[in-house]
Chains A and B, each alone.
Chain A
Amino acid sequence: MRTLTLNRLLWICGALLAVLFAVVVLALKVGAVPISMTDLAWNLVRVIVGRDTQLSSEYGLIIFGLRLPRIVLGIFVGAALSVSGAGFQALLRNPLADPYVLGVSSGGSFGAILALIFLPYMPLVTPLAAFVAATATVAMVFFLGRRQGQLDNTTLLLAGVITNSFFSAVIIFLMTTLKGGEDRGMLYWLMGDLSTPLAASVRWMFAVGLIVGIGAIYTTAADLNLITMGEREAMHLGVDVTRVKLVVYVSASLLTGLAVSVSGAIGFVGLLVPHAMRLLFGSDYRVLIPTSAIGGAIAVVVADTLARKVVAPTELPVGAVLAIFGAPFFLYLLRRRLA
């Protein structure tokens, strides 16, 4: 018996944070302007602890004015999407659940585009609309995914896939007919892309939303462990199943909505990362939530760096890179479950 202790949890998270730091330094280095790794690491630490960088101003501008904001956006989006995926997996009792596969991401994108077209001068409305649309999409997929009053794993996934293609079609329709204040392009919304930096006005809201969303799901971590072993049993072990599911439902939708409003529908992070973390550290949600958050950040930053590097000087949408790894992994999990 190796039970979870606070010490063990902190060690695991610390190790992952060190990996994240190394990945960030590497990502800062990749690009047209060469600069040494040690300089980068040293200056990054100075920026993190709140001091000025010692790099000359033009380097500093490229590294910390252009590359770092994109990396920070990747960290936020990765953390949000993979915690959201881990949450949906427990909520819908389906190990293949992921905001993108379930169609929640494209539903959220649809909400964000509507807000951008009809209320283009109110930047806070976009993430809010994405959140509301994501929440509605989860409810829709949930009801479509039931058979004879029971949530059916295969039907749920099919409902998600169809919802996804429906909203993708609507997005293409909207983008070609009514452009309005939206100029980010179709690929951005359908595949996900980190090339648009976070507007200063929504930065705080995004950070607060992320912390609240992940924090709320984390308070239910011990309950989620029981719910994944059976809802009826969880109830008899003192879990308020309805409350826990409501918290996870709203928080996971919030996280997905926030992420898609600033990066479009990036797929498979919520599937790849929680499963990788389960393989490494076990299925205990008290470990899974924080490790998924950090692991998601690592995955998206790595994928985005590849997206920038592989076909330089042009770049791929980060969602394409993740889908290349994510889709086969989804199939692997599906086949293993059917076996």
Chain B
Amino acid sequence: MSGTENYVSIEVARGTEKQSAATVRLSVEQASYAYHSRGNTAPVFTLAATTFSARQREIVTILGPNASGKSTLLKLIAGALEPLSGRVELEGFETSRLDARTRAQRIAMVHQESQLLFPARAWEYVLQGRHPYGRMLRFETEEDVNIAENAMAQVGAKHLRDRWMHEISGGEKQRVILARALAQQPLLLLLDEPTLHLDIGAQVDLLERLRQLAAENRYTVVVVTHELSLAAEFADQVVLMHKGKCLRVGTPAEVYRRDLLEQVFEAPLDVDMGPEGRPRVHIRGAKPPG
């Protein structure tokens, strides 16, 4: 296993405009982290040194079961945590060293939605994405409004503009939250388990939109998920995590190996190659009756 830990992905050039995607945008180099419950005690969780890099228009999936270190890795990328060793750089700047405003102009994070304290309309919510560009009490400019409108149009949420956030469905809410991230006009779009509360239709819709957005807006997209089949279908690169270690980085076809996935997800699985070199994962379940 030791040989695979520092595995750096070979270039994945699936897109057509290879020349503009030539430079690395996000580089994670031997980044590690440790959580301590308090003081000098032994760490309760460690993330071993992890290395991978991503270009613009690329979708990277951080894949693994619960407590595998996915979210920690995402926080390191977002700059919310400072790595214990190694570096996380976005276009040459260490993400944890950027000041909060600059960071918010370059990195957008999509969480599962939080409880709103007071009712808000979808457009008010999306307009908050312009916050990192404003000063103190600044009133939103026409430009801010246009950017917010465009963001909503891009995710197909224009019709939700005047609706209350607590009255729309889970899938619609996820679109509005995504629109707020787009309104930040980031270079890097991070999503933490974005498909968790969505039905299958909304999941596919979201991921197709992400692919389209990555291409059109030249984002680098990093998605944390434990959904094996969705990652296989939509990722350009997969970072496979297990118990705080990065086991492998590569295209889905390279990473989706039966023995590896069975070890990580602790379930009997079958992997076969679908069209376009995308692997398919099935549960090797009970024998069919008869």
Contacts and interface: CB of A to CB of B under 8 A. Distances in A.
Contacts of B104: 236-238
A307 to B, nearest CB: 31
Contacts of A240: 100
User: What range describes how many residues of B lie at the interface?
Assistant: 35 or more
Contact of A219 (B128, B136, B140): B136
Contacts of B161: 1
B114 interface: yes
Interface in B143-186: 144-145, 148-149, 161-162, 184
Contacts of B119: 283
Given A225-B128, A229-B128, A237 B184 contact: yes
A278 B118 contact: yes
Given A3-B145, A235-B100, A218 B137 contact: yes
Interface string A221-239: 1100110111111011111
A3 B148 CA distance: 12
A90 B117 CA distance: 8
Given A3-B127, A3-B145, A219-B136, A229 B117 contact: yes
Contact of A229 (B105, B114, B134): B114
Given A226-B131, A239-B131, A283-B120, A232 B111 contact: yes
B101 A1 contact: no
A308 B119 CA distance: 38
A18 interface: no
Categorize the interface residue count of chain A.
20 to 34
A84 B184 CA distance: 31
B246 interface: no
Interface of A: 1, 3-6, 89-90, 93, 95, 218-219, 221-222, 225-226, 228-233, 235-240, 278, 283-284, 286
Given A229-B120, A229-B125, 6 more contacts: A4-B139, A95-B117, A219-B137, A228-B117, A236-B107, A237-B131
Interface of B: 78, 80, 100-105, 107-109, 111, 113-120, 123-125, 127-129, 131-132, 134, 136-140, 144-145, 148-149, 161-162, 184
14 contacts: A1-B127, A3-B127, A3-B139, A3-B144, A3-B145, A219-B137, A222-B131, A222-B136, A222-B138, A226-B131, A233-B111, A236-B108, A237-B128, A238-B131
